[in-house]
């Protein structure tokens, strides 16, 4: 199995749970991961193999791809998070960056990443949950 070098490979810029990240369909050599990056793997959705369905620290079967982020993502205590449509966003013609270029773009000393949230929790989401007034 060929492992990608996280420092030298140009990876696709994506968004996972509203957090900017870098994506590859391959597995990444964890020994090459910069100390400020977090590595997550995704498993294919059983109903649509063109989409990820599960996010975790390590996926052994039906590997969809690997995503690297500068901010940690909220995984439940079980270690895996089911992904919903819109949780993983790939842009057509997205920029391809090295880890150093990603760091320069997103880790400006004044940059404060927003907390990771699901799309339905964003204020501009089309889905809104209305709580009854008590």
Q: pLDDT tens across 42-69, in order?
A: 999 999 999 999 999 999 999 999 999 9
- Tell me how many domains the chain contains: 1
- Name the phi and psi angles at 120, rounded to 5: -70, -10
Residue 132 falls within a domain, yes or no?
Answer: no
Query: Which portions of the chain are predicted below pLDDT 70?
Result: 1, 108-115, 117-134
Residue 98 falls within a domain, yes or no?
Answer: yes
pLDDT on residue 117: 66
Residue 15 falls within a domain, yes or no?
Answer: yes
Residue 124 falls within a domain, yes or no?
Answer: no
Report d(CA 105, CA 60) in Å as an integer.
31
pLDDT on residue 129: 45
Report d(CA 127, CA 11) in Å as an integer.
31
Residue 107 falls within a domain, yes or no?
Answer: yes
Residue 126 falls within a domain, yes or no?
Answer: no
43: tokens are 């498993």
pLDDT on residue 128: 43
Domain with 93 in it: 2-119
Residue 12 falls within a domain, yes or no?
Answer: yes
Residue 134 falls within a domain, yes or no?
Answer: no
Report d(CA 11, CA 3) in Å as an integer.
13
């Amino acid at each position: 199995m060929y492992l990608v070098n996280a420092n030298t490979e140009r990876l696709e810029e994506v968004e996972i749970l509203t957090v900017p990240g870098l994506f590859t369909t391959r597995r990444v050599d964890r020994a090459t991961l910069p100390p400020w990056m977090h590595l997550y793997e995704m498993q294919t959705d059983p109903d649509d193999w063109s989409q990820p369905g599960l996010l975790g620290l390590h996926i052994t079967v039906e590997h969809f791809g690997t995503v690297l982020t500068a901010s940690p993502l909220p995984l439940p205590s079980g270690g895996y998070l089911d992904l919903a449509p819109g949780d993983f966003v790939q842009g057509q013609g997205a920029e391809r960056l090295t880890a150093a270029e990603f760091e320069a773009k997103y880790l400006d000393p004044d940059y404060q990443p927003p907390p990771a949230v699901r799309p339905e929790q964003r204020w501009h989401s089309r889905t809104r949950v209305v709580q009854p007034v008590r």
